[in-house]
């Protein structure tokens, strides 16, 4: 069974959305996979994702309200087959935690799967009102490709 981890800085918006989107696609297609998300900031450990993200996901038919933010650990390299980061900051953090080249071979920018190498998934906290929709569309595009590959 494939095991996939999504990573964003705080694990409060982008990575939980990606986790929810991919889980939703996997369930609808009757496939099996383990999908999780994590981050690098400790501010929100064990808290749910951002209320705005939960509300937005619900409008899209995705429930992320039960998720809890957690920190990325070096052991995640042992657990997950694929680790997708949202931005260069998260990529650098993964490099910091990596123990060897094998660990880093698992880490990719999420948008690489959509033939958009090293493209950042924008943090909607820093965008105008339509930013969450733009972020969602990017996550959905990449998650569709990942789902089809499982």
Distance CA 63, CA 61 (A): 7
What domains, with CATH codes, occur in the chain?
Answer: 2-149 (3.40.50.2300)
The length of the chain in residues reads 150
Model pLDDT, residue 38: 98
Q: What single-letter DSSP state applies at residue 50?
A: P
Packing angle of the helix pair 14-28, 51-59 (nearest 10 deg): 30
Distance CA 136, CA 21 (A): 9
Q: By percentage, how much of the chain surpasses pLDDT 70?
A: 97
Mean predicted confidence (pLDDT) in 34-63:
94
**Cα 86 versus chain centre, distance:** 7
Distance CA 118, CA 116 (A): 7
Map tokens 């997950």 to a residue. Answer: 80
Predicted confidence (pLDDT) per residue in 70-99, tens digit: 999 999 999 999 999 999 999 999 999 999
**Among the ranges given (28-32, 35-39, 65-69, 126-130), the one the predictor scored with the smallest mean pLDDT:** 126-130
Q: Give the CA distances from residue 19 to residues 33, 96, 102, 126, 144, in Å, rounded to whole numbers and listed in that order.
A: 11, 23, 24, 21, 12
Count CB atoms within 10 A of the CB of residue 79: 12
3-state secondary structure (DSSP) of residue 71:
strand
Residue 103 token pair? 């660990």
Considering the entire predicted model, what is its pTM? 0.95
Helices (H), 86-130: 88-97, 101-105
């Amino acid at each position: 069974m494939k095991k996939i981890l999504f990573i964003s800085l705080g694990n409060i918006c982008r990575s939980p959305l990606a986790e929810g989107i991919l889980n939703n696609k996997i369930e609808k297609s009757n496939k099996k996979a383990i999908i999780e998300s994590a981050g690098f900031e400790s501010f929100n450990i064990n808290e749910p994702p951002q209320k705005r993200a939960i509300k937005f996901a619900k409008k899209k038919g995705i429930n992320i309200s039960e998720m809890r933010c957690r920190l990325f650990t070096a052991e995640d390299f042992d657990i997950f087959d694929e680790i997708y980061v949202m931005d260069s900051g998260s990529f650098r953090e993964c490099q910091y935690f990596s123990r060897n080249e094998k660990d880093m071979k698992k880490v990719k920018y999420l948008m690489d799967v959509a033939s958009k190498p090293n493209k950042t998934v924008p943090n909607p906290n820093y965008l105008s009102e339509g930013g969450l929709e733009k972020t969602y569309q990017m996550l959905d595009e990449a998650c569709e490709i990942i789902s089809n590959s499982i």
